[in-house]
A and B are shown apart, each in its own frame.
Chain A
């Protein structure tokens, strides 16, 4: 027995030695270290890698100009494997072992929330990348999220879809809601449900499908067709979005307005897969190569991104997440430069109280750290003639139809006409 205990103690000592050996040595104090977790593997891996590339491009841009307040920027990051349970440990390591100067979030609500309390405890500025109302419970005033969903993200997300629908003549009356059974999609459809009530559309179908795991959408869409809705709002993830678009064509489902919260239609690979089938669909969008969305610096950034992305087998055009991944660190860097300080409170106050010019346009944050006003575009896919990549890098294919301020073309109604 005594011998066994001695062995156990020896084992612990060895493990401690190994963990100390693996702890990286302190880096030169001259660098500004920005730490984060990023999904580089797991379901969000491909998008996370594209976000990382965008952040590395920003780092190189800043360092080429001499860094932040004369200090070179270094990104310190670990792969969270798209697992929320890994996030608390990673941020503790970033702050206590790597001693980073600033932290920003990983990609997506599930991976932002576990890090938020850590940022709060240390009073650190925390930039969020594509979280949907992640700060709702924490109400942390130094959290700033870059996705332009708006102050009431769950409702604002689909507002444009409903405003567009309400303007049509004759006014549509009924709506079908379909959602994948997971975080984003359910929230998006919950918002759509509230908007449907607000705009007075009668909900004739409201169901969820198991996620992940659903591959055949034909039976689901047949049920939707049987309900004969005027509008069809879908909250889905990339695989489901492809399945739903294909099944809708197969069974000739033709509501007057179709789309809403379908993730994936913004990805180049999926656009090339679906090609002409996308015509007429109206979906949420964050950026497209339209003349109304030429924000300062976006084209230079995309040129750099598109040069590097094929080598790393990432989304070749990178219109969805990468500009925002660039923008959320760009905004932080600009705030440090503007305040001439690395002080968290000063930088946080500056971000909170000012409008910021970024590659995704002017950004102003509201009280909960979300954009003060929603800028979720509704884009209608039009005039797509082939599955080639070049088709999607041109203007006039992803036409901004909402809001009016950024409108880049006319809305084709009903959906069947745009098909």
Chain B
């Protein structure tokens, strides 16, 4: 194992243990709930970036994968109320399979056509869920979260810990992909698909891998949603916010590295949480919108790219 990989895994383990220790020290539930939302966006933005940033296929259907994870969990809770890890695994599997299926169906679509197909997926799935009365249909359903959970004083702390661990794992997955031959293959697809194919990059396999992993991570992020919000209905599970934010966050942070979506999600997600309880909520969308426009125009490589450029310029000046 390389030194870099070792360091990364140690930091990941420290962050997971650290988030557990936080739950033993801090009682204020607001911070757990706010942090949960931010961390959920870390997972979604990182997942989006595996397909959108690394491979260059813009997915507008984040909400579909997220909601599939959430509704798979709801169906399981209604059937036999399994422990949360079963919900996470099943949610991830279902959304991963959905990603794989969509990958197959939309293989020939590129650019804006692929994006439209993913948007359509969200609309179609929302219609199906709205008409599936077992999981509440269009009317929605209330989900009772377990009263207690071992090692944690309440379920909010547990959900925060789970989402923190998921965020760390998803960033680690993105990092591993980026640093491996798979990541390099994806980057080749992003830059020029035809050229990559001519050079022997298995573009079909890599694209399917990207849609599957990206979908699975989004599904995993959605699995605990019904326990977080307690009442799930299609309009909120399929909300456009998920698509907009999971796209805007990597754009703002930078799409070509694992760090970009992490920085974008923490920054924009935290700003949104603060805006919800301080400024008027119209500010929420305005923040995302203005940041997105600003970054697309002035820093198309996101914050990470901007810092890179500044550093390079400073280094040039020193030389």
- Using CB atoms and an 8 Å cutoff, list the residues of chain A in contact with chain B: 1-2, 4-5, 8, 11-12, 15, 18-19, 22, 40-41, 78-81, 83-90, 92-93, 95-97, 109-110, 113-114, 116-117, 121, 134, 136-138, 181-183, 186-187, 208, 210-211
Contacts and interface: CB of A to CB of B under 8 A. Distances in A.
A84 B229 contact: yes
A181 B137 CA distance: 8
B211 to A, nearest CB: 26
A114 B138 contact: no
A208 B8 CA distance: 53
B315 interface: no
Interface in B266-289: 266-267, 270, 273-274, 276-278, 280-282, 284
A80 B231 CA distance: 15
Given A40-B281, A84-B233, 12 more contacts: A8-B259, A11-B267, A22-B274, A79-B276, A85-B236, A88-B228, A96-B30, A97-B30, A109-B231, A113-B142, A181-B138, A186-B137
Contacts of A187: 139
B131 A4 contact: no
Interface in B64-78: none
A4 B259 contact: yes
Contact of B29 (A84, A85, A96): A96
Contact of A1 (B4, B37, B154, B273): B4
A83 B239 contact: yes
Given A83-B239, A113-B230, A114-B230, A138 B37 contact: no
A19 B270 contact: yes
Contacts of B270: 15, 18-19
Contact of B33 (A2, A22, A89): A89
B28 interface: yes
A188 to B, nearest CB: 10
Contacts of A80: 281
Interface centre among B142, B144, B282 (most CB of A within 10 A): B142
A114 B231 contact: yes
B281 A81 contact: yes
- Counting contact residues on chain B (CB < 8 A from A), the size range is 35 or more
B13 to A, nearest CB: 13
5 contacts: A8-B262, A83-B236, A89-B37, A93-B277, A117-B145
A15 B284 contact: no
A40 B280 contact: yes
B229 A88 contact: yes
A11 B266 contact: yes
B127 interface: yes
A140 to B, nearest CB: 11
B115 interface: no
Interface of B: prevailing SS: helix
B28 A96 contact: yes
A137 B144 contact: yes
A115 B17 CA distance: 30
Contacts of B281: 40-41, 79-81
Contacts of B32: 92
Contacts of B274: 18-19, 22
Interface centre among A2, A183, A187 (most CB of B within 10 A): A183
A93 B201 CA distance: 51
Contacts of B280: 40-41, 79
Nearest to B236: A84
Contacts of B28: 92, 96-97
A97 B236 CA distance: 26
A90 B277 contact: yes
Contacts of A121: 154
Contacts of B37: 85, 89
Nearest to A135: B142
A109 B280 CA distance: 23
B29 A137 contact: no
A108 to B, nearest CB: 11
B139 A186 contact: yes
Interface in B32-50: 32-34, 37
A93 B30 contact: yes
A11 B131 CA distance: 44
A85 B276 contact: no
A92 B241 CA distance: 22
B198 interface: no
A20 B135 CA distance: 39
A182 B262 contact: no
Interface centre among B139, B241, B284 (most CB of A within 10 A): B139
Contact of A181 (B33, B130, B239, B284): B130
Given A40-B281, A81-B281, A110-B140, A183 B233 contact: yes
A12 B266 contact: yes
Contacts of A109: 231
B88 to A, nearest CB: 19
Nearest to A89: B33
A83 B277 CA distance: 14
A318 to B, nearest CB: 22
A109 B156 CA distance: 22
Given A18-B274, A81-B281, A113-B142, A87 B229 contact: yes
B228 to A, nearest CB: 6
B231 A110 contact: yes
Contacts of A97: 28, 30
Contacts of B284: 81
Contacts of B239: 83, 85
Contacts of B259: 4, 8
A124 to B, nearest CB: 13
Contact of B34 (A79, A89, A183): A89
A36 to B, nearest CB: 13
